[in-house]
Structure formats: structure tokens, C-alpha cells
Structure 1
């Protein structure tokens, strides 16, 4: 009888001791946050101001190796220069241009994967002038932006060549020479006329 009681007491003690361990094991373990490279992500451009028709290069760093990235493109028209209007008192008052909000009317760049070192390099050729905002979005949810201003190509003045200047100079020189010859002929004719008049007398 005593032996059975001892065995029962040991069984109950072991069950009580194992209960907290089982309860702790049943609880969900906290998930570990994803490991990101130090310093965060960064998106930059090779030139923040380009001429329409040129291509801008986008550089990224700090992404996870092989991370899928999409670059979203937004644009807004170039703001007009400050204009001056005439107020009710007759004075001219400078008016600031109206701010434009970027519109999502540009196609996104095709998704691509970052290199093994967490960098990438892609190119983009704007189809219009304006302010362009590029937003790189990774599959981890991290983002960064970069801006580019696209200006209209300036019209270059027509070059002044030698042919365009030599022709007027030749014509002008010819007219001067002709005028000089006519002047000399007039003086000679007058001189001869005076000599003949004196001879008649």
C-alpha cells in the first residue's frame, strides 16, 4: 500500500512539474523581424536636370540581395516663371506660380532584382518636359525617392558662315568701286568741259 502511494505521489509531482513547461511550449514564439542592411535604402540619379531627349540613370543601394524592386514614375508640368499683373491701384504685383501636384500618368519601370551587393542601376528616358519623381519600392516595403527636372531643348542660333558674310561684302565693295569710277569720270568730264570752254574763247 505504501509503495503504491509513493508511486502515485511521484506521478502527480512529475505531472505538476511538467505542466508549466508544456504550457510555455504551447505559446506562439515571437517572429524575428527581417534583417535589413545597415544604413537603409537609397535611390539617386546621375543628373538631377536633363534636356528633353536625354536619358537619366537611376542608382540604388542598401537593398536585400535579389530583392524585387519596382520604380514608380510621377510627373508634373514645369511651373511658369513668376508673372507680374497690374493691381487695382495701378501697381504691378508679382504673382507666384500655382504649385502642381505630381500625377501618375507615367508607366512604371518593369520589376527587377537587386544585385548580390544590394545595388541596382536602371535607365529612363522622359517623353515630356516637367518635374519627374521616381519612387523605388522593394518587396520588403522599404522605399526611397529621387527627382529629375526635364527642360525643353534650347534652339541654337544659326551659325554665321564665311559665305553669308562674303557675299554682302563683295556686293558692297563693288558698289563702292563703281561709285568711285563714276566720280572720277564726272570730275574728268567737268575738267574737260572747262578746258574746251576756255579754248573757244
Structure 2
């Protein structure tokens, strides 16, 4: 009997001890706060679009322009191709020949002997910029297209090249009137000379008769 009481007392004691432990286990445990270990990354760099410009949009044949390119790869070679579109005739800035009656006639342009390349290269600096001078040898609308060999970035610009300003040429029709006037003056002078000689001869003959 005593043994059974001891066993019962131990069972009740264990039950009493187990109840708080189970209650504590049933309660939600606080979660540890997450630690920030990753450094925020900046947004990806997007370079500015490439740009190609000329310092003067319109020039006369024989003048020089400066090409400027930006937004290309740093320290890379840039290929520049030139295409030419003829201008409508007569070109602006070209003075037409004028006849004596006031009408005009278009003059054919004089061929320019020097030959400028239609493909050349330039090298950019560390910021992806380059400058290059160019002297066209033809008239027309010139289109420059620059392409980076490494970055494969491309940009274009246009240049209008006009004929040189020419003085008004003298045509056959323009010479007609001055030549006619000159011929008339020469004829009048000849008549006056003959009349003077005749008058002097008459004076001499009259003096001899007396």
C-alpha cells in the first residue's frame, strides 16, 4: 500500500512539473530580426546616345569643317563614311551669266581637282569624344556616318556644300553691245579725220591761188 502511494505521488509530481513546460512550449517563440548584410547596388549605368555634329551646316567648296563625335566608346577607333547627294541646279550662291537683254543663262560648275576621302577614321579620348577636320572636294548634300569599332555605336550628320561664288562671266551676247558701240565710235572718228584732212587741203589750195 505504501508503495502504491509513493508511485502515485511521483506520478502526480511529474504531471505538475510537465504542465508548465508544455505551456511554455506552446507559446510562440520570438523570431530573430533579419540582419542586413547586402550593400545596396546603384542602378546600371546607361551611357548617353552617340552624337555627331559639324561646326557649320553649310559651306562653299574649298572650305573646311570640323566634325565632333560624343557618346562613343573610350579610346576606340571610329569609322566615318561619307555619302554624297547632288544638289538641284543651279546651286545656291552660284551667280548666273547675264546677257545684254537682261536674260540669264546657267553656267556649268568648274570641276574641283582635289579629292577628299569618302571613308576615314578618328580615335576617341577616354570620355568617348573625338574631333576631325574635313575638306570636301565635291558639292552636294554630304552625309557623315560614324560607327565605333568596339562599341558599335553609330551617329550621323549632314553638311551642305555649295559652289564657290563666281564673278559674273562675260558671254558673247554681253560683248555684242560694247563692240557695236566701239565700232561706231571708230567709224565716226575716221569720218572726222577725213573731213579734217579735206579741210586742211582746201585751205592750202586756197592760199596757193592767192
Q: TM-score, normalised by structure 2?
A: 0.44
Greater CA radius of gyration, 1 or 2? 2
TM-score normalized with structure 1 length: 0.46
